[in-house]
Amino acid sequence: MNPVVALTIAGSDSGGGAGIQADLKTFAAHRVFGTSVITALTAQNTAGVRGISAVDPGFVGAQLDAVLADLPVAAVKTGMLATPETVALVAGYAARLPGLVVDPVLVASSGDRLFTRDAERAYLDLLFPHAAVVTPNLREASVLLGRDVLDVDDAIKAAEDLAATGPACVVVKGGHLRGSRDAVDVVYAGGTVELLSSPWIDTANNHGTGCTFAAATAARLALGQPVAEALAGAKDYVHAALAASAGWRLGAGHGPLAWGPFLT
């Protein structure tokens, strides 16, 4: 029987911990066949981003045309899109992108910018209206809304306000919540707020958690799970992948998660 196919539209992380590399490993761990449209190359390792070379939007389009013309993509995740031009381009394909999970990657965990400064509105105006799920972290929600998003109450209000731009579901991720003993994510869909919570794992190996969460959600949507089930499963998967790599020392900075075969 043919495998289910998912697509990631994202940047390459040469260090293998985030971006396209994290997404494809996450798809494989879910037994989903991964395809990829690369929007940018980053010269990156666990310590930070040394350089970025954005792919010309025309060639991002050529990759999308090639994949969509030939392969039965069942769900899509977007990660680093690098420029508002590429956000606009991807939005133009929205009608052909089922189960669209938009992770609005703006800044790396190292603090390096991954998206054109002051151009974030393109996400709100062009891409969010087409998304099944959007997954900002606290800092991304704050940049998108132009105000501080620091605690769970702020995150609930942020999720409501971001939902007004049109996505079916908003998850404001709480991996950077201050002083929390649990990793609490706020999920807002259909006018209802729910909290997704898992025990906090004390680890420096947390590079790529956001990419992995969004890719696991897309993989599960591709497998036919409803959104709420896909998000709960993705949350469990990230927790397991963080726990499994907690004892690793790969790289001098924030190390990667343990995907797929390393989980068992």
Ligand X SMILES: Nc1ncnc2c1ncn2[C@@H]1O[C@H](COP(=O)(O)OP(=O)(O)OP(=O)(O)O)[C@@H](O)[C@H]1O
Give min distance, CB of 189 to ligand MP5, in A.
Answer: 24
Which of 33/39 has CB closer to ligand X?
39
Task: Note whether 42 binds ligand MP5 by CB under 6 A.
Answer: yes
Measured on CA atoms in the order 32, 38, 39, 45, is the torsion positive or negative?
positive
Closer CB to ligand MP5, residue 25 or residue 207? 207
The reply to whether 11 sits near ligand X by the rule CB under 6 A is no
**Which of ligand X, ligand MP5, none interacts with 30 (beta carbon under 5 to 8 A by kind)?**
none
- Listed in sequence order, the residues at least 6 apart from 78 whose beta carbon sits closer than 8 Å to its beta carbon are 8, 9, 10, 90, 100, 101, 102, 103, 127
> End-to-end CA distance of the chain, in Å?
25
Element (H, E) at 5: strand 5-13
Backbone angles phi, psi at 92, to 5 degrees: -65, -20
Instruction: Please return the burial class of 162, using the count of CB atoms within 10 Å of its CB with bins 0-12, 13-18 and 19+.
Output: buried
Element at 88 (helix H, strand E):
helix 84-92
Binding site partner of 83, from ligand X, ligand MP5, none, Cβ cut-off 5-8 A by kind = none
Identify which range of 25-33, 76-84, 154-162, 202-210 contacts ligand X by CB under 6 A: 202-210
Dmax (CA) for the chain in angstroms is 49
Given 6, 37, 90, 105, the residue binding ligand MP5 (CB under 6 A)? 105
- CB 109, min distance to ligand MP5, A: 4
Does residue 157 touch ligand X according to CB under 6 A? no
For residue 71, the minimal CB distance to ligand X (Å) is 27
Q: Which two tokens stand for residue 116?
A: 């054109």
Residue 176's alpha-carbon distances to 71, 180, 223, in angstroms, are 37, 9, 29
Nearer to ligand X, 170 or 211 (CB): 211
**Applying CB under 6 A, does 201 fall inside the site for ligand MP5?**
no
Minimal distance, residue 161 CB to ligand X, in Å: 18
DSSP strands (E only) in 103-242: 133-134, 169-172, 182-189, 192-199
> Nearer to ligand MP5 by C-beta: 111 or 146?
111
Nearer to ligand MP5 among residue 112 and residue 160 (C-beta)? 112
The contact set with ligand MP5 (CB under 6 A) reads 10-13, 18-19, 42, 44, 79-80, 105, 108-109, 114, 207-208, 210-211
